Amino acid sequence: MRDDRSLGVYLHVPFCGQRCAYCDFAIVTGQDRRAPAFADALVAELGAFAARFGVRPADTVYFGGGTPSRVPPEVIERAVAAVREAFALWPGGEISLESNPEDVNAESVAAWRAAGVNRLTIGIQSLTGEGLAALGRPGSVEDSLRAVAAARTGGIPSLGIDLIFGWPGQDLPGWAGELDRAIGLGPDHVSIYALETTSRTPLVRAIERGELPRPDPDRAAEMYEAAVEALAAAGLPRYEISNFARPGHESRHNLRYWRDLPYAGFGPSAASYVDGTRWTNPRRFSDYEAAAWAGFPAVEAEPWDPDRRAGEALVFGLRTEAGVDLAPLAARYGEAALAGREAALERAVRSGLAQRDGSRVRLTGTGFLIADELFVDLL
């Protein structure tokens, strides 16, 4: 029987070789030597969590980053062991690890499998040399092909790949070709992300200086539609706006975020949502380490703001193909928080962007295409 106090566990591993041109995550570069000390801090933080909240059940563990595949596999092994100490991990619980292609080989896959990893995602991002160069990614297309083969040969039960579309210079036929090649790799899960141009990343600054062409939003929408069609035809239907999976291979951990279910985050910048309270760890690596050793590392818990929470839960739920049930949100955050959003929801239904079935609302195909605009109204 599932315990409704069960949590998803997120571990943020901040190490990267270099900062990719489009990245604004909390990472450190050139600091790999600090991985063992980082593992010590994680173990301390996990222990402090269990001391404060008791040993809670957990059904998913997710190593994100940063580049979790970059740290020695012993660090992953230690972290999984510490999670098993601090939480009652469900038998068959999902243990996911994000990786970069150049770190995936027979030895690393065997070590991750031995640590309990049963789901691997590979940040391929582009299956063309031009794409990798435009995105400032290290490695090559061949590295990606080798990584997928090593993951499969090594017996990874659920394999995902990540791709980015809309990079400067990419056109629709090129993207269609990349999708064909990606599907040909036989992934169980595919994540596709439009190039993000709102943060001040090196790539965005180059676009602003006129060194690279500005991505065209209409073309990005065409690319997105092409991907939805091609992936569905290949047996990978959309289950979330950016995520596509063979049935049974959806990310159970990420579904927690979209379904407004609780999670506990560890490592720099990791967020937690436990017993209705949310908090975020210090973003800077050294601040995080100091805080982890001082005890419980979280900065101040967010003040209770049911209106903001309801808006976020609504928008997160609408990202999924299944949509969102408004009844539990009203029970959790109050009728008033949802009543204020009724008019926007009605407008979305009237304009064919959303459908309503009782208390459940979901986006239509057109709604998914302009979801960001709709979400601004609902937040």
Interface residues toward ligand SF4, by CB under 6 A = 16, 19-20, 23, 25, 27, 65-67, 100
Question: For ligand SF4, which is the closer residue by CB, 135 or 324?
Answer: 135
Q: Residue 14 CB, nearest distance to ligand SF4 (Å)?
A: 8
Question: For ligand SF4, which is the closer residue by CB, 253 or 362?
Answer: 253
Q: Residue 290 CB, nearest distance to ligand SF4 (Å)?
A: 22
Q: Residue 20 CB, nearest distance to ligand SF4 (Å)?
A: 3
Question: For ligand SF4, which is the closer residue by CB, 22 or 263?
Answer: 22
Question: For ligand SF4, which is the closer residue by CB, 23 or 134?
Answer: 23
Q: Residue 62 CB, nearest distance to ligand SF4 (Å)?
A: 14
Q: Residue 186 CB, nearest distance to ligand SF4 (Å)?
A: 23
Question: For ligand SF4, which is the closer residue by CB, 30 or 155?
Answer: 30
Q: Residue 79 CB, nearest distance to ligand SF4 (Å)?
A: 18
Q: Residue 16 CB, nearest distance to ligand SF4 (Å)?
A: 3
Q: Residue 26 CB, nearest distance to ligand SF4 (Å)?
A: 9
Question: For ligand SF4, which is the closer residue by CB, 69 or 320?
Answer: 69
Question: For ligand SF4, which is the closer residue by CB, 19 or 246?
Answer: 19
Give CA 297 to chain center in angstroms. Answer: 22
SS3 readout for 232-258? HHCCCCEEECCEEECCCCCCHHHHHHH
Question: For ligand SF4, which is the closer residue by CB, 65 or 268?
Answer: 65
